[in-house]
Amino acid sequence: MGSTSAENNGTAGVGRRDLIKRSAALGLISVPTMSFLAACASGGGDDNSSGNDEGKTSKSNPFGAKKGTKLDVVIFKGGYGDDYAKAWEADYEKKLGITSTHTGTQEITGKLQPRFNAGNPPDIVDDSGAQQIKVDVLYKNGQLLDLAPVLDAPSVDDPSKKVRDMLIPGTLDPGVQEGKVVALNYIYTVWGLWYSGKLFKEKGWEPPKTWDDFIKICQEAKKAGIGGLAHQGKYPYYINVAIMDMIAKKGGIDAVKAIDNLKPNAFVGSAAAQAGVEAIYEVVEKGLLMPGTNGLTHTESQTRWNQYKAAFITCGSWLENEQLKQTPSDFDMKFLPMPLLPDSKMPFEAIRAGSGEPFIIPAKAKNLPGAKEFMRHMLSKEWSTLFAKQANSLTILKDGVDASVKLRPGTQSTVEASKAAGDNTFRYLYPDWYSEMDTAIQNASNELMAKRIQPKEWLKRCQAAVDKQAADPASKKNVHE
Partner 1 sequence: MRKGQYRFVAGFLFAPVLLYVVFVIWPYIQTFGYSLTDWKGQSQTFKFVGFANYRALFHDDVFMQAIWHNIQFLVFIPVITILLALFFAFMLNAGGRSKAGGVQGVAGSKVYKIVYFFPQVLSLAILAVLFNAVYRSDGGGLLNGALIKIHLVDPDNPVEWLNEPHIVLWALMVAVIWQGVGFYLVLFSAAMQSIPKDIYEAALIDGANRNQSFFRITLPLLWDTVQTAWVYLGIIAMDMFVLVSSMTQNMGAYGGGPDHHSDVMATVMMRNFLYFGKSGYACAMGVVMLLLTLILSVFTLRVTRRERIEF
Which one of the spans 22-30, 48-56, 175-183, 260-268 is the region binding partner 1 (CB under 8 A)? 22-30
The yes or no reply on residue 292 touching partner 1 (CB under 8 A) is yes
| Cα(139)–Cα(362) distance, integer angstroms | 10
CB of 232 to partner 1, least distance (A): 10
CB of 171 to partner 1, least distance (A): 25
CB of 364 to partner 1, least distance (A): 9
| Cα(288)–Cα(451) distance, integer angstroms | 13
Give the x/- contact pattern for partner 1 in 303-342, rule: CB under 8 A.
-x--------------------------------------
For partner 1, the closer of residues 17 and 476 by Cβ is 17
List phi, psi (to 5°) of 251: -100, -5
Give the x/- contact pattern for partner 1 in 112-141, rule: CB under 8 A.
-x--xx-x----------x--xx-xxx-xx
Where would I find the H helices in 130-210?
135-140, 148-152, 197-203
For partner 1, the closer of residues 119 and 347 by Cβ is 119
The yes or no reply on residue 3 touching partner 1 (CB under 8 A) is yes
Residue 130 is given by DSSP the state: T
| Cα(338)–Cα(39) distance, integer angstroms | 42
Which one of the spans 29-37, 198-206, 274-282, 371-379 is the region binding partner 1 (CB under 8 A)? 29-37
Strand partners, 184: 359
Taking CB under 8 A as the criterion, the residue among 194, 237, 428, 433 binding partner 1 is 237
For partner 1, the closer of residues 304 and 334 by Cβ is 304
Whether the Cβ atoms of residue 152 and residue 146 lie closer than 8 Å to each other: no
CA angle (388 as vertex; 298, 411 as ends), nearest 5: 50
For partner 1, the closer of residues 157 and 447 by Cβ is 447
- Which residues, including other chains, have CB under 8 Å from residue 13's CB and lie 6 or more apart? none
Whether the Cβ atoms of residue 208 and residue 339 lie closer than 8 Å to each other: yes
The yes or no reply on residue 32 touching partner 1 (CB under 8 A) is yes
C-alpha distances (whole Å) from 417 to each of 35, 236, 401, 413 are: 46, 25, 16, 6
The yes or no reply on residue 17 touching partner 1 (CB under 8 A) is yes
List phi, psi (to 5°) of 357: 60, 75
Strand partners, 190: 353
By CB under 8 A, what part of segment 406-445 binds partner 1?
435-436, 438-439, 442-443
Taking CB under 8 A as the criterion, the residue among 261, 270, 293, 475 binding partner 1 is 293
Q: How many residues bind partner 1 (CB under 8 A)?
A: 67
Taking CB under 8 A as the criterion, the residue among 19, 25, 224, 405 binding partner 1 is 25
For partner 1, the closer of residues 28 and 403 by Cβ is 28
| Cα(365)–Cα(146) distance, integer angstroms | 12
Whether the Cβ atoms of residue 260 and residue 432 lie closer than 8 Å to each other: no
Taking CB under 8 A as the criterion, the residue among 9, 16, 21, 285 binding partner 1 is 21
| Cα(238)–Cα(343) distance, integer angstroms | 25
Q: Which amino acid is at 331?
A: F
CB of 45 to partner 1, least distance (A): 7
The yes or no reply on residue 447 touching partner 1 (CB under 8 A) is yes
For partner 1, the closer of residues 192 and 362 by Cβ is 362
The yes or no reply on residue 285 touching partner 1 (CB under 8 A) is no
The yes or no reply on residue 37 touching partner 1 (CB under 8 A) is yes
CA 286 to chain centre: 31
For partner 1, the closer of residues 136 and 320 by Cβ is 136
CB of 28 to partner 1, least distance (A): 4
CB of 130 to partner 1, least distance (A): 7
Q: Can you spell out the DSSP letters for 208-264?
A: PSBHHHHHHHHHHHHHTTSEEEE--TTSTHHHHHHHHHHHHHHHHHHHHHHHHTT-T
The yes or no reply on residue 11 touching partner 1 (CB under 8 A) is no
| Cα(55)–Cα(45) distance, integer angstroms | 29
Which one of the spans 23-31, 79-87, 175-183, 374-382 is the region binding partner 1 (CB under 8 A)? 23-31
For partner 1, the closer of residues 138 and 184 by Cβ is 138
By DSSP bridging, strand 425-426 and strand 99-105 are unpaired
As to burial, measured by CB atoms within 10 angstroms (0-12 exposed, 13-18 middle, 19+ buried), residue 338 is buried
The yes or no reply on residue 295 touching partner 1 (CB under 8 A) is yes
CA 212 to chain centre: 30
The yes or no reply on residue 97 touching partner 1 (CB under 8 A) is no
| Cα(383)–Cα(77) distance, integer angstroms | 18
By CB under 8 A, what part of segment 98-117 binds partner 1?
109, 113, 116-117
Taking CB under 8 A as the criterion, the residue among 180, 235, 345, 349 binding partner 1 is 235
Residues that bind partner 1 (CB under 8 A): 1, 3, 5, 7, 17, 20-21, 24-25, 27-33, 35-42, 44-46, 109, 113, 116-117, 119, 130, 133-134, 136-138, 140-143, 233-237, 287, 290-296, 300, 304, 435-436, 438-439, 442-443, 446-447, 450, 452
